[in-house]
Amino acid sequence: MKRNLLLYLALLAVFFAALFTVLEYGDSLEFQKASVNPTATGSTNSTPGTPAASLLTDDQILGEWVKALLRLLKGLRDPLPLLLMQIGLVMIVARIAGRFAVFIGQPSVIGEIIAGILLGPSLFGSLQPEAYAFVFPKSSMGNLQLLSQIGLVFFMFVVGMELDLKILRNQADSAILISHASILLPFILGAWLALSLYPNLAPPGISFLSFSLFLGIGMSITAFPVLARIVQERGLTKTKMGGIALTCAATDDVTAWCLLACVIALVQAGGFVPGIFTILLAISYILIMLFIVRPWMKRAGNIFTNREALTKTAVTFFLLFPLASAWITEAIGIHALFGAFLAGVVMPEKPKLRTLLAEKVEDVSLTIFLPLFFALTGIRTQMGLLFQGNLWLDFAAVLGVAVTGKFAGSAIAARLAGRDWKESLSLGALMNTRGLMELIVLNIGFDYGILSAEVFSMMVLMALVTTFMTGPLLDGIEKAFSIPSQKQIRNAEEILLAFALNSRGIDLLRLAFGLFPHSSKLKEVTALHLSPDSTISGKMAQRYEKSSFEPLHKLSRELGIKLKTLYKPSDNVTKDILKTLQSREYKIFLMGGARSLFSDDVLGGKIRTLLSESNGDAGILVSEKLGKLGQLTVAIFSEKDSSILPLACNIAKNYNSIVSLWDPSGIVPQLPEKDRTLLKKEKIPILRGGDPSVLGEADLILCDLDAWEEEPELRNWELSDGAGLLLLRIRKNRSLI
C-alpha cells in the first residue's frame, strides 16, 4: 500500500516538473517571436523577461474583467446555455410547487401547473419584466415547445399503456353510460356557451363550428392520470367505486380524444368535405392499429417478457413505435399526441413489458419534459387579460358550465345506473378532475389558432380550479354521508406494522406473531407499505404493492395469521402512517428502527415524529436482519419495565424460546407480586450486574423505550449479527398479554 502511494507521488512530481520545463521553454519562444515581430503580440514596451500582463494598469485589468463578464453573459444568451438554464429553473420551481401542493393535500400536478403560471407573464413577467425577458426571450419559445412536445408524445404513450381495455369490457355497461353522459352534457353546454363567447373572444378567421366544437371538447375532458393518482392516494383502487371511476375516466379519455381528432381534422382540412376525408383516414388508421398492428405487437410481447430479453435493439424498436405512430397521425392531419396515445393502447398486454418500458420513459418525461410543458402553458397564460372588460364574468360562466356539466352529468347518470347518492356524487367529483389532460387539449387549440389568448387563459384557470376542488369535494361528500355517533369497534385488528423493505416486513411479521398469546386463535395483522413518491404510475404502484406483500402473504399462511394489507404512494410517509394509526384502534404498532440522513440515532427523523404524535403502544425493531429467536433477554431498569415480561413470555411460547432477565439495578425484588410470580412460574433466570456484555448471547433484547433513552450504555452497545433490539412503549393497554 505504502509502496504504491510513493510511486503515485513520484509520478505526480515527474509530471509537474516536465510540465514546468515545457512552459518555461515555451515562454522563451514567445519572447523571441515578439522580438522578431513586435506588432504580433500588441505589446512593444515589454522588457526582456517581464510578462506583458504585469505592465497593465489597474483600469486595464478592470476592463479585462468587465469584458470577461460580458462574454459570460453573452454566452448565456446562446441557445444551448439558455435552454439548460430554463430547464434547471423550471424543474426546481415545479418540484418546490409540487411539494407544496402535496403539503396542502392536493395532487402534485396542481403545484406544477401553478409553477408554470408563476413563471409566466402573470407573475414573473409582471414583477420583473427585464429578468423575465432574459430568462424566457421570445426567440427561445420554439426550443421549449419542441422539447415539451417530444415529452408529451412519450407521456401520452405511457397514458395509453396505462389504459386497461379489459376493465372497459368488464364494466362497459354502466361505465359507458356514466362516461358518455359526463361528455355529452358538458359538450352541449360548452357549445351553447360558445354563442356568447364567439363574437368578442374567438380569434379572427376561425369558424363558429370549430370554436364551439373545441370549447365543447375542453369542457368534456377528464384527467385520467390525475384521477388515477387521487384514487390511489385515497385507497380506493380495490373498491367498486374506484374501479368504476377509473373505467369511466378511461372511456372518457378514449371518446374525448377521438372527438378531438375529428375536430382537428375539420379545422386542418379547412372545410367539411375535406374534413370528412381526414376523419375517414383517421378511422382507417385506428382500425389498422387495432386489428393488424395489435396482434403483431402481441407476438412481440410473447418474446420480450423480461428485462434480460429486452435488449437495446428491442427498446429502440418499442420507443420508435410511438414516434412513428405520432408522425403518421400528424401527417394525416389529426395530431401527433393521438398517435402516441393509440400506440400505447395497442402495446402488448404484458404487465412486465409495459412496466419496463414505462420505467425507461416515465422518469425523464415527468421530471424534465412535463415541467417544460407547464412552463410553456404558463407563459401563454395571461391572467392580466381577464381584468379587461367583463372577462372575469365570462370566466365565471366558463367555470360554472364546466362544473355543472361534468359533475352533474356524471352524478345523475351514476344515480340512474343504480348507484347510491354517495357513490354517484363521489364519481361526479372525480370525473370533474381535468388537470394535465385539459392543458394538453388547450395547448393544441392554442397552437391551431382556435382559442384566443383570453379564452386560453380562462380555460387554464378553469382546469386548475376544477382539479383543485376534487379533494375538498370528496372530503365534503364523505363527511355528509358519514354515520354519526357510532362507537368504533375496538380490537378488530390486533397489530399494525409499517415497513419499507419487504425483508423488514418479514421480521416485523415474525415479531407480531410472537406477541400474540399462545392460546389465541384469532391472529390479525395489518401490514402498511407506502411508496415515497405519489407521482408513480398505476402500473408501477401495482408492481410495488405485489412485490412488497408477496413474501408477507406467504409467511402469514405458514404462521396462520390473517393478514390485511394497506398500500398507497405517498409524498409524506410520516403523515400517512399517522392517518392510518388514527383511523382505528390497534393493539400495538410495530416499525423498524432507522437512522436518519444526518444522525446515527435509530429513533431519528420519522420515528420520533410518529412516537411523539401517537399515543398507542408501539414497538421499534432495531436489527439489520433478524435471525433465530432462540434466546430472549428482557432488560429491566424500573418497575414500569415489568410490562415487557408477559410479551417476552408470549414470544418464547410461540417460538419455543428461552427467556432471561437482565437486572442491572437490582429492581426485581421491588416488582409487583404478579410479575415475581410470573418469573417463578416460567423459571426465568435473572442476570445481575451492570455490564451490558451479558446481552451478547441474546437473539432478541426487549427493552422499555424510556429506559433505553436514559441508559447510555445501552445506546452505545452494538448488536451481534442476526440479533435484534425491540424497544417497547406500553402505555394504555396490555390486552395482548
pLDDT category at 490 given cuts 50, 70, 90 is very low
pTM of the model: 0.68
Q: What confidence tens digit (pLDDT) does each residue in 36-92 have?
A: 665 554 444 444 444 444 445 655 565 666 666 666 666 566 778 888 888 888 889
What's the CATH number for 75-136+149-478?
1.20.1530.20
Distance CA 131, CA 73 (A): 13
On the question of a common fold for 75-136+149-478 and 494-729, the answer reads no
> What average pLDDT score do residues 473-486 get?
74
Determine how many CB atoms are found less than 10 A away from the CB of residue 612: 8
Q: What confidence tens digit (pLDDT) does each residue in 679-705 have?
A: 888 788 887 776 777 777 888 988 888
pLDDT category at 485 given cuts 50, 70, 90 is very low
pLDDT category at 404 given cuts 50, 70, 90 is very high
Q: What confidence tens digit (pLDDT) does each residue in 572-601 have?
A: 788 888 888 888 888 899 998 865 555 566
Domain 494-729 CATH (choose: 3.30.390.30, 3.40.50.12370, 2.60.120.20, 3.40.50.280): 3.40.50.12370
pLDDT attached to residue 683: 81
Q: Where are the chain's structural domains?
A: 75-136+149-478, 494-729
What does the mean pLDDT of the chain come to? 80
Q: Which of 158, 128, 612, 648 is nearest to 362 (CA)?
A: 158
Whether the predicted pLDDT of 527 surpasses 90: yes
Question: In which region does residue 626 sit, left (phi positive, over 0), alpha (psi from -120 to 50) or beta (all else)?
Answer: beta
Q: What confidence tens digit (pLDDT) does each residue in 105-133 have?
A: 787 778 888 888 888 888 888 888 888 88
The tally of CA atoms less than 13 A away on the side-chain side of residue 70 is: 6
Q: Give me 38's grid cell.
A: 513586435
Q: What confidence tens digit (pLDDT) does each residue in 620-660 have?
A: 998 888 888 888 988 888 888 888 888 888 898 889 888 88
pLDDT attached to residue 84: 87
3-state helix/strand/coil string of 317-374: HHHHHHHHHHHHHHHHCCCHHHHHHHHHHCCCCCHHHHHHHHHHHHHHHHHHHHHHHH
> What average pLDDT score do residues 204-231 get?
84
Q: Exposure string (b/e) for 285-295, b if CB count within 10 Å is 16 or more?
A: bbeebeeebbe
Q: Which residue has the higher pLDDT, 188 or 122?
A: 188
Whether the predicted pLDDT of 713 surpasses 70: no
How many percent of the chain have pLDDT more than 90? 12
Beta bridge partners of 210: none
